[in-house]
Structures are given as structure tokens and as C-alpha cells.
Amino acid sequence: MKTAAMNSWLLPCLLGGLALATPALAQDEDAPYTYPDDEKSEEEESPRHRRPHSSKEDTSDDYRRGDEEEDEKEEDFDRMAGLDDPNTGIAFEVLGGAMLLSSPRGQFADVLPAVGGRFTWEFGRILNVEALREALWFDVRYTYAGVREGTKLIIGDTRLHYATIAPAYELTFGDSKDYGAYVQVGGGITYQQTSLTVGDKMTQVDGLKSLIQYGIGLRGRTRVSSVSNTRLAWRIELMRFRRGYMDDTFVGASLGTAF
């Protein structure tokens, strides 16, 4: 009787213990247990703790950044190239030579002395481009030539006044770029005064014509002092003035001061 009662009480207890016990799950074979030593080694080999190794890509990036920085420095240098230049690019010159007037009588030319002056400004300096700083400039020029001929009874007098503005492009040479050959094309006007005197009676005719100026020359700005920026400006040129159907040719030189 006691044995049967004990068995009947033991069976419900075992069933209750099995029901309340937490089931043990088997570990996944693909995820083995990690020990503390293994965790430290994995952290040391992780990308955060791994020291960066140099590669071709990283080196090329460094070179590329260095080239970009050098290009920026060169651009800044080009933009500031004119700040420390003591020259203003302005010059005043007196010119003289021979004017070969187109002859109305069909001859080769009437050779007359010609004088004048000009103002020069190197406007290429305001462009902040090193190659054009001293290559681009223009002249404001005045030239005079006159002829007087005839007899005691009849005298003819002709006076020509040329006023022009002509830009030029110069190819400089030498280390200092103080000398160069240039071509020039511009325009302006000619004021012509013609008078005919017969005895005591004079007849005068004045006229104004537009003209085209073009030619070539050699230009220099020679240093005269290492202390001052004042220079000796000079030119040798061959220039033509086209007025109407007539071509006048000027062969001469000029001398002055450049600042």
C-alpha cells in the first residue's frame, strides 16, 4: 500500500519538473564559442585597429594633391605678377624722318622731312597675363610734313597733319624682354592745308580725310639706371598712311623716355 502511494506521488512530480525545466539548445556548429583571447586577436586585426598600408592609389592621390597645390600657387603668382613691377608702361617720344608723299604728278614720290611725337601705353599690363604684359600696346601719334615749291610768281604750299591711334603687337626677345619687333595697324585722320599764291593773291583749300596706318618696326626700352625705373625708349620703323587713294610712307626713328 505504501509503495503504490509513493509511485502515484512520484510520477506527477517528475512530469512537473520536466515541464518547468528550460530546454537546452544545441549550439550552431557554424558559430563556435569565442574565447577572450580570440576576441582580443580579432580586435587587433579589425579595420579600426589595423595600420594603414601604403598603396599605389594612395601615392597617386598624394601626387595629385601636390600638383593641384602647385597649379594654384602658379595661378596666384600669375595674378600677382604685376604688383611688384615698377614700370607703368608709359612712354613719350619725339620722332623724325622722311615722308614719301604719293605724288599727284605720277612720279615715284615727293620726299619731305617729317617730324612729330607720340604717347605710348602698354595696355597689356592690365590684363594680368604674363605673355601679353609687354606685347600689347598702342600709340597716340602726331606727324607733320610739308612742302613748298614754285617760282617767284606762283608758289604752291602743302601742309599735312596726321593724327592716329594705332594698337600694336610686339614679339619681345632677350632675357629682360626690353627689345622686340612689332606690327601695327590703326586709323585716324589727315588734315591737309593747300594754298596757291599768284602774285599777291592767295587761294587756300583745306580738307579732312580719314586714313589707315599700318607698318612694322623695331622697339627698345634700354635701362639707363639700376636705381630708377626710367628707361630710354627708341624705335626704328617703316610706316604707311593710306589717305583716300594715296599712300604716304614714313621712314624714320624716334627717341624718348619710358616709365
More confident of the two residues 98 and 20: 98
Is the confidence at residue 54, as pLDDT, over 50? Answer: no
Q: What was the pLDDT predicted at 209?
A: 93
Q: What was the pLDDT predicted at 79?
A: 53
- C-beta separation of 227 from 220 below 8 A: no
Q: What was the pLDDT predicted at 44?
A: 54
Q: Residue 164 CB: number of other CB atoms within 10 A?
A: 22
Three cell numbers, residue 69: 597645390
Residue where the block lists cell 585722320: 189
Reported as a single tens digit per residue, the pLDDT across 3-28 is: 555 556 666 666 666 555 555 444 55
More confident of the two residues 69 and 161: 161
Reported as a single tens digit per residue, the pLDDT across 152-204 is: 788 888 899 999 999 999 999 877 788 999 999 999 999 999 888 887 888 88
Which CATH code for domain 90-254?
Answer: 2.40.160.20
Domain ranges of the chain: 90-254
